[in-house]
Structure formats: C-alpha cells, structure tokens
Amino acid sequence: MLDMKFVRENPDIVKQNIKNKFQDQKLELVDEVIALDAEKRAAQQEADNLRGARNKLSKQIGALMGQGKKEEAEEIKKQVAAEADRLAALSEKEKELDEKILKIMMTIPNIIDPSVPIGKDDSENVEVQRYGEPVVPDFEIPYHTEIMEKFNGIDLDSARKVAGNGFYYLMGDIARLHSAVIAYARDFMINRGFIYCVPPFMIRSNVVTGVMSFAEMDAMMYKIEGEDLYLIGTSEHSMIGKFIDTILQPETLPQTLTSYSPCFRKEKGAHGLEERGVYRIHQFEKQEMIVVCEPEESPMWFDKLWQNTVDLFRSLDIPVRTLECCSGDLADLKVKSVDVEAWSPRQKKYFEVGSCSNLGDAQARRLKIRINGEKGKYFAHTLNNTVVAPPRMLIAFLENNLNADGSVSIPEALQPYMGGQKVIK
C-alpha cells in the first residue's frame, strides 16, 4: 500500500505505474482518492478550528460565571453544545472518508522497481540465467503420476473419494522422498543462518489483507466458516504476520526466518494437462524463507534469497533457470520478483518451482511493522521466497533422476534423509 502523501504529491507517477501494470481500469481511482483525501483534510481542519474555538468559549463561560453573568454564560453554553454536534458529525464524516480512502489505497498497486521489464503477463517474463545443463535422455519419461504409481507411491482415486479433485495420498518411498526433501531444505536454510520456525496454519483477516491484495485473497484463501480465520496459502502469510504492529530496533535486523507449513489454496482457473497430478493442488507442504530488513538492504537480500533456491536445486543435480517477472505478472504489493524454474526432461522445457519477491514497505505499511532508527520511526521492508515445495519439486526430481530401467537415483546430498537409500526401485 502506498503512502497517501506520495499519491497526493505524485499522481502522474502513480498513474504511469498503473499503466505499466496494464491495469488502466484503476486510473480513475487515483483522482478519486486524492479528492477524498482533500475532503477528509478539510473536515479535519474544520474540526480542529472548532475544538480551538470551543476551548476559548469554555474559558469565557468560567469567567462569566465567576462574574455572576449567568445568562450570558448560558448563551455561550448553547453555542458550545451546537459546536459539539457539528464536531460529532465531522468525526463521523472523517471515519467514513477514512474507510473509503483505505479501500481504494488497498487496490492501487505498489510502485514497481525501475529494473522490472514491462509486459502484460507471464509470457513476457525475461530469462536471466541458466544453471546446469538441461538433459533429455534417450528413453521416454512418463508423466510424473505414472512414475509414482509404478512405486505404489500415489493414490489419486482414493483422495478424490475422500476430498475431491486436487488432493492425493502419497505412500511408501515417494512419501518418504517428499519428507526427505522438506527436511533437507530445512537444514539447508538453517546452515545458511536462517532461524527455523513452524508458524500458525490459520490467520485472521487483518493479517490476510496485510500480506496480499484482495484479488489474491479471493483466488487463494479458504475461509473458516463462522470464525475470523483463514487457512494459509503459504507460511509467508503467518511469518510476516508475526511482526504485526511491532516496532523493531535496528540491532535486531535483519530478521531471517525459514518456515515449514502445509499450504491450502483454491487454485481457481487451474486447467489443462500440465495442471493434473500434483502440479497444481489444493493442499501441499512447503519450506519458505522470509526476511524483514532495513529498506536499503532489501535489494541485497532479494538476490540472496533467489540464489538460495538455485543452490538447493543444483545441490540435487536439477538444472534450473531464473526469470525476471514482468510488470503485468507482478501481484499488486510486489516491487520486484524472480521465478526459479526447474528443467522438465519430459516436457523439454522449464516450469516454475519457486518465486522470490521484494515487497518493499507494502506489507509493513499495512501491518504497521516499523523500525525505530536514529532519525525516527519508518517502515521495514519484507521479502519472501520459496525454498522448496515438494509436489513440484517431486516432479522435477523424479524426471531428472529417472533411469532407463524405471528406477530413480537419489543424489548424495539427499541420501542421509532417505536412510542411506541410493535408489528407488
């Protein structure tokens, strides 16, 4: 969420940013919110003037009563009462205007970084770099669920009966591989200096609206009926929410945390062949990383975060590439984002396995996460990145480690988490 003062003083910059994100339907909101802000400030000024006048009149009443001029004092009391009614009306007006302004400000997108490429959607994202040599073996690679089924490692039919589409049972070595990847990712991040955390898996609505846009909320979040609680779509939601309404001391920064959680998502609009199996589902588990830091340090941490994901995948011999997300592919709160994509030998192309985002002070402004620095209080910057989400990681892992005889090799780094097992047969 932008600072209202910034919007008021830089309407052309805000409008151009909206155009760069191809959200022209929001252009009129800029003038509308500026007009509402002017109306609110006028009401505040009038209220301040009335309070000043009322204080003076109150002193006059005391003086008149002291002089025995009761009738004159009563007349002034009537005037004070009338002004009290006007003050109450102004206070109510300010409240209504605040709500209207907040609603609009929550929908105006954050200012993107100047380095972000301009484009309408993810088809215009820009490849940055490749890591590892993508290989296509000389034997056919089955669809990932077919590989799992050969090991009796997945049961989609039973899951449909129990919960519907978008759910699964993992079993045997595949289930163990899933847990091994999570445990390996946890230790990988701990070894890089991040504090391990298991957060709440449900959050209140004020945290939801603090960490994401209304559009994201509608497309992703499951609401708990009858309660002010939502199931988290990623542990980032809980982890950033951990700092709600806090004032941080500079010496405690940066806060670098890695968190495990199940994730729950509606996944509206998920269709097509490559959306089947465990690619896009309603429930999965994930290891996440978040950073809360000084504003000037967020670009540095942004580069460190996506590099962590690249390094983890390469430690398991999976080729990956990084993509710079274009303006139209950025969610409203994001300043800059890089996707990490893993190589799929079956599809002969890369697919997304993680996303790293710098949100500037957008989440901190909504959640009131401030730093008490030498020059006063100011908003922190927040960042998040996927360490690993095993459903998609399993796809990349199985395809890149599949052997011609149908077995799956386990890289050396992961073998301790599989009880020393070197191959799945």
The residues assigned a catalytic role are 265, 280, 352, 355, 392
The answer to whether 363 and 298 have CB atoms below 8 angstroms apart is: no
CA distance 347 to 48: 67
**Which sign does the torsion angle of CA 415, 179, 276, 307 carry?**
negative
Closest residue by Cα to residue 320 from 386, 274, 265 = 386
Closest residue by Cα to residue 204 from 247, 245, 241, 235 = 241
Strand ranges across the sheet with 349-358: 126-131, 320-324, 336-344, 349-358, 381-388, 283-293, 255-264, 195-197
Residue 104: how many other CB atoms lie within 10 Å: 19
Residue 35: how many other CB atoms lie within 10 Å: 10
CA distance 121 to 128: 17
The answer to whether 23 and 215 have CB atoms below 8 angstroms apart is: no
